[in-house]
Amino acid sequence: MLAILGTEKRSQTGGGNGVPACQAELAPRRQGFSLPEALIAMLIAGLASSALLLSAGYCLHATEAAREDTQATLLAQMLMNVISACRWADADAPAHWGPESGELSGPGRTLFDDLDDYDGWSGPPQTRDGVRLESIQQQEFAGVQLHPFRDYSLSVEVIYATSTGEPVPGAQTSTFRKVTIAVSNQSRVVYQLERLFADLSGMDDTIWLSDTGLGQHGQSGLLSLTPQGEGGRTGILAR
């Protein structure tokens, strides 16, 4: 009798867990995420997406900076190569500073033949005869999307300097001249190239070493040749 009653009790309680068998079979099963779990998952996904976007933005900025630095370096080097082919001074008026009479009549800088002729010159990227590189770019690569040269400008400073490139005091002169080319992009200087020249007209040999290039995104050394002109032999030294 006791065994039978116990059996009936277990069958009514659905196996002894305190829930009737019919209710245990009808209880809904838990599916999906709860609201807090979904919010946490969305937060993690948002943080991961933000990190990816920041990484992509940094890569784009680094690429643009490298392109700008490379283009500015090439523009400065192109102009410096032209200046390096000039004489130390005018043979007829070696003490004269700046362009001689008539040298500004152009076209461009075709009549500049001394280092000091370039002191104070500024303008957009252009050839020696004054043709803008932007015009050449549009003519030669019509229909091709290229970075324009119109945002760039160059300026030149020529000073008397010491053998280490420091400016000489006052109105003193020396046998060294430092040429500095500044390249700007939208009025912001992004690169400077300096070259120190020595008047070696009284020597049999010339000296050539490397330039000093200082850019916004780093430094670079550029190798160059030594020009020789009628107004004196010019050597290129390193700062």
Secondary structure of 11-68 in HEC code, one letter for each residue: HHCCCCCCCCHHHHHHCCCCCCCCHHHHHHHHHHHHHHHHHHHHHHHHHHHHHHHHHH
- Tell me what the mean pLDDT of segment 200-224 comes to: 45
β-strand 152-160 against 176-185: which pairing, if any? antiparallel
- The count of domains in the chain is 1
- Percentages helix, strand, coil for the chain (3-state, rounded to 5) are 35, 25, 40
What pLDDT is attached to residue 27?
55
Could you tell me if residue 182 is inside a domain?
A: yes
Residue with the bigger pLDDT between 166 and 57: it is: 166
Helix (H, G, I), strand (E, B) or coil at 159: strand
Is residue 118 domain-resident? yes
| In a domain? residue 44 | no
Rounded to whole angstroms, the Cα distance separating 90 from 102 reads: 14
Q: Which of 23-27, 92-96, 177-181, 222-226 holds the top average pLDDT?
A: 177-181
Q: Mean pLDDT for the chain?
A: 74
The answer to whether position 144 is within a domain reads: yes
Residue 220 has pLDDT above 50, yes or no: no
Distance between CA atoms of 72 and 60, rounded to whole angstroms? 18
Domain that holds residue 204: 53-237
pLDDT of residue 12: 52
Q: What is the pLDDT of residues 68-77, one digit of tens each?
A: 888 899 999 9
Lowest-pLDDT choice from 2-6, 138-142, 188-192: 2-6
pLDDT in tens, 91-132: 778 888 989 888 888 788 999 988 999 999 999 999 999 999
Percent of the chain with pLDDT over 90: 23
Task: Report the range of poorest mean pLDDT among 77-91, 177-191, 193-207.
Answer: 193-207
Nearest of 205, 211, 195 to residue 228 by alpha carbon = 205
The pLDDT assigned to 183 comes to: 94
Q: Is 0.95 surpassed by the pTM of this model?
A: no
